[in-house]
C-alpha cells in the first residue's frame, strides 16, 4: 500500500473483545493504524508507549490511535494493563488484515516471533492513506510521522 490508496476495511476484536471496524472508526476521524510484531517485546513496548505518551497531541489533532498485531485478545489485554495503554489494540490472530495491508511476513519470520512488519498507516477520515511509515529500528518515527500526516 502507498499514499493515495484506499485502506482495506476490516473488523477485529480489541483487547476487551469488542469488535472494531475501520469504517466505523473513520466516521469519528482519521486513524493512525500501527502494525507491530508482538506484544511484550522491547521494541513494540517502546512504540506502543510512545503512542500512549502522545495522547494529548493525537487528541488535539483529532486522530485516533489503533494498534494491531497477531496477538490474541488476552495477550493484548494483559499488555494494555501492564503499560496503561489508552487506545484499542486489535487481535489479527490469523494475519488476514496484515495480509490485506501487505505487512504479513513469511512463516519463517513468524516462527521467530516477527509475524508482522512494523508499519504504520496514516489514514484520512475518507479512508485514503496519507502516509505509510515503515521502520523496524526507529520506534518513535511511527507516531511522529502519523501526526504530521494527519494533524
Which residues are known to be catalytic? 44
In whole angstroms, give the CA distance from residue 128 to residue 121.
10
Contact in structure between 59 and 100 (CB atoms under 8 Å): no
Q: Which three cell numbers stand for residue 88?
A: 484499542
Containing 74, the helix (H) or strand (E) segment is helix 73-83
Using DSSP's 3-state secondary structure scheme, residue 105 falls into coil
Amino acid at each position: 500500500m502507498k499514499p493515495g490508496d484506499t485502506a482495506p476495511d476490516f473488523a477485529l476484536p480489541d483487547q476487551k473483545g469488542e469488535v472494531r471496524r475501520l469504517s466505523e472508526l473513520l466516521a469519528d476521524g482519521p486513524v493512525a493504524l500501527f502494525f507491530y510484531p508482538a506484544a511484550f517485546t522491547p521494541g513494540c513496548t517502546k512504540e506502543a508507549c510512545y503512542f500512549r505518551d502522545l495522547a494529548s497531541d493525537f487528541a488535539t489533532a483529532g486522530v485516533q490511535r489503533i494498534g494491531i498485531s497477531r496477538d490474541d485478545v488476552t495477550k493484548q489485554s494483559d499488555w494494555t494493563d501492564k503499560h496503561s495503554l489508552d487506545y484499542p489494540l486489535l487481535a489479527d490472530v490469523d494475519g488476514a488484515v496484515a495480509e490485506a495491508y501487505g505487512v504479513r511476513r513469511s512463516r519463517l519470520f513468524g516462527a521467530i516471533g516477527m509475524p508482522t512488519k512494523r508499519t504504520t498507516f496514516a489514514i484520512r477520515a475518507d479512508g485514503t492513506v496519507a502516509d505509510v511509515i515503515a521502520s523496524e529500528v526507529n520506534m518513535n518515527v511511527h507516531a511522529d510521522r502519523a501526526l504530521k500526516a494527519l494533524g
